[in-house]
Amino acid sequence: MEKVFITGRGLITPIGKGLAANRQALKEGKSGIVFCESYHANNLPSVVAGIADETPDANLLDRKMLRFSPPAATMSVSAVYEALQEAGLTPDDIRGKRIAVIGGTANSFGKENTECTMNFMQSGKLRAVPPFSVPRVMPSSAVSIISLFYGLKGESFDISAACATSTISIIQAVRLIRSGEYDMVIAGGAEQLDWTQALGFCAMRALSTKFADNPAASSRPFDRNRDGFVLANGAAWVILESEKSIKKRNGKAITEISGIASNSNATDMVVPDAAASEEVMRLAIADAGLEASDIQYVNTHGTSTPVGDPVEMQAIKNVFGSSVAINSTKSQTGHMIGATGAAEIIFTSIMLEDDFISPTINLDEPEEEFAWADLVKEYRPNAGLKHAISNSFAFGGSNACVTLSKVK
C-alpha cells in the first residue's frame, strides 16, 4: 500500500491569506472574527463572522473564467496555486496530467439562488437571471473550475458531508493514492459566506449572539460562557502524493497522512455521538499503525456549542485520558463549514512541521467537567509533536478523523 504525503498546502482563511499569514496568526493567537454588516442589515440575531479575503488574484482567472466562478471557486484556484508553489510545481507541470481533484462546499450558494429567484419573480423576465447562474451555483463549481483552469485529466468530483466535507475529500484522495490508481490528487474544500447561509443556523439558535460588542471573543470552545459557533468563509487545498511520485520528481514530503477513518453516528441528525466519535478516532490511529499513546495532540472539531463540545471531549477522554494536548483552531477562525476540515488538517501539518501548538483563544473559564484535560490556552512552542489527529464531526452524523505524522 502506497504511503501518502502532503507536498503542498494552500490557505485562505479569516486569519490570513496564504500559508505564511496563517502560520503567524496561529502562533500569535490572532482572531479573524469581526462584526458582519450583512447579518446586522438583515436583522439576524448573530452579527459576527469569520471573514476571509475572497478577492481573486488578478493574474490567475481571466474575465471569461470569472463569469463561471463564484467566490468558492476563485478562492480555491488561488489556494491550489499556492499549494503547487510549495510543492515545487507550476501549472504547466501538471497541465494535461491524470491528476484527480476532490473537494466540496457545504452550503455556499444561498445568495445567488435567492437573487436569481427574486429577480425573476419581480420582473417576470428571464433576462433578469444571469445566463451563467447554473455553473456558479453548482456544488461542484470549485472542483470544476480547478480542473478547467489547470487542465487536469483525472476524475473530479464534489463531496458533500456538511462540516466533514473537506476532511472526507482528503480521505477519499488518500484512498485513491493508496490503491495505486493515482500518484497525485488535489483535495480540499471551500465555503462562501452570506446572511442567507446564516439564516437557518440562527433559526436553530446554533450561532453565537452574546458577543456583538466584542466579536473576537465570540468563538470560545470549551469555555463555560460559549453560546454557539461562528460561521466563516475560506478555502483550503492540499497536494497529496505517493512516496513513489515524490521520489520520481525529486520533491519534498511535508507531512504524512498516516491514518484515515470515517463513520456515521446513525443516531441523530444534529446531536453528535460520543461512541461514534471515539470509534472514528481509534480507527484513524489504528490505520496509521499507531497506539493512542503515540498521539501528542488533537485538533478538535471544537465548534464552541454547548452540546457538541462536551460530547467530543468525552470521546477524547475515552481514547486518550489526559495524555494529549487539546485545542480548537476554530476559536481563531470560526467555522468554515465545507473548508474547515482541510484547513484544520493544514493547521495541524504546520504545527507538526514547526513543533508548536496554537492556543485556544477566549478560553477564560474552562468548563469544570473538562478539568482533566490538557487544554492549550497559550502558544506552546517545542511541543515535541510526532503524531497528531484532526477531527471533523458533522450534522447528519458524518464523522471523519485523520492521523498526521511528522516526516523524519
Q: Are 85 and 8 in contact (CB under 8 A)?
A: yes
Q: Would residue 301 show up in a list of annotated catalytic residues for this protein?
A: yes
Q: Sign of torsion, CA 324 223 299 34?
A: negative
Distance between terminal CA atoms of the chain? 19
Distance from C-alpha of 337 to C-alpha of 101, rounded to nearest angstrom: 19
Q: Are 205 and 286 in contact (CB under 8 A)?
A: no
Q: How far is CA 383 from CA 37, 164, 325, 352, 372, in A?
A: 39, 27, 9, 9, 19
Of 116, 202, 335, 401, the catalytic one is 335
302 C-beta neighbours (distance < 10 Å), count: 28
> Is 13 strand, coil or helix?
strand
Among candidate residues 271, 226, 247, the one with its CA nearest the CA of residue 399: 271
Query: Which value, in Å, is the radius of gyration of the alpha carbons in the chain?
Result: 20
Of 163, 202, 387, 401, the catalytic one is 163
Q: Would residue 387 show up in a list of annotated catalytic residues for this protein?
A: no
Among candidate residues 161, 184, 35, the one with its CA nearest the CA of residue 105: 161
Q: Would residue 335 show up in a list of annotated catalytic residues for this protein?
A: yes
Distance from C-alpha of 130 to C-alpha of 128, rounded to nearest angstrom: 6
Strand runs (DSSP E) across 174-244, as ranges? 184-191, 234-242
Of 116, 202, 301, 401, the catalytic one is 301
Among candidate residues 359, 362, 361, 363, the one with its CA nearest the CA of residue 351: 359
The catalytic residues are 163, 301, 335
